[in-house]
Amino acid sequence: SVQENLIKASHLINMDDIVREGNETLRTVADEVSLPLSDEDILLGEKMMEFLRNSQNPVMAEKMQLRPGVGLAANQLDIAKKIIAVLIPNDPEIDENGNEVAPKEAYKMSEIMYNAKIVSHSVQDAAIESGEGCLSVDREVPGLVIRHARVTVEYYDKNNEKHKIRLKGFPSMCVQHEIDHTNGIMFYDHINEKEPWAVKDGLLIIQ
């Protein structure tokens, strides 16, 4: 199966493993994974996180010709399971001489999430100022991707522990993008076709 091949110890997920627009799995509502998690589902989550790390490493990204990513959903690997991975780096700090220094915590968010779902959200909407892209979309789709500003998300981690977290800012946008994938939703479904860059009153713009 696709999953068996992806979780082989020697396999590193690469761009050839990521399905593109037109593949029906991108428009499929994925199944919840059964708990306790199977070894295969735990391994798949770890491989997805490894892909994100490699995609953010200049040497590996160049070697493997990876597009950089901060999130990935199993639907993008042609696997209709509710498994997502999120890896959001912290920005480097600037010292008194204006030099970049490594942040204390390398990552703002690093999580493999099973059966993630939004259980509540803000009335206020938000969008990333520059719009969004997707590793499964080989074209630019300009426009503000309108999302909830803040969300409360329930999910299980690789140790079968249940979590309920509140997200805002960029992590909120990223997790919503990934949860959307597990529900067959693409980022451009949230762009206003007539006025892609229209800023409605109250919209929070995220840099």
Surface-to-core class of residue 75, CB atoms within 10 Å of its CB (0-12 exposed, 13-18 middle, 19+ buried)? buried
Window 79-98: residues binding ligand NB4 (CB under 6 A) = 89
Nearest residue to the partner ligand NB4, using Cβ: 68
CB nearer Ni ion, residue 19 or residue 134: 134
CB nearer ligand NB4, residue 25 or residue 76: 76
Residue 178 appears among annotated catalytic residues: yes
Identify the residue among 87, 113, 134, 145 touching Ni ion (CB under 5 A): 134
Catalytic residue, chosen from 21, 111, 161, 178, is 178
> Quick check: 73 binds ligand NB4 (CB under 6 A)?
yes
What is the torsional sign of CA 190, 164, 116, 61? positive
> Quick check: 174 binds ligand NB4 (CB under 6 A)?
yes
Do 139 and 151 contact (CB within 8 A), yes or no?
A: no
Q: Which does 176 bind (CB under 5 to 8 A by kind): ligand NB4, Ni ion, none?
A: none
Q: Which residue has the tokens 């901060």?
A: 70
Identify the residue among 7, 112, 134, 179 touching ligand NB4 (CB under 6 A): 134
Do 63 and 27 contact (CB within 8 A), yes or no?
A: no
CB nearer ligand NB4, residue 112 or residue 134: 134
In three-state form (DSSP H/G/I as H, E/B as E, the rest C), the secondary structure along 29-62 is ECECCCCCCCHHHHHHHHHHHHHHHHHCCHHHHH
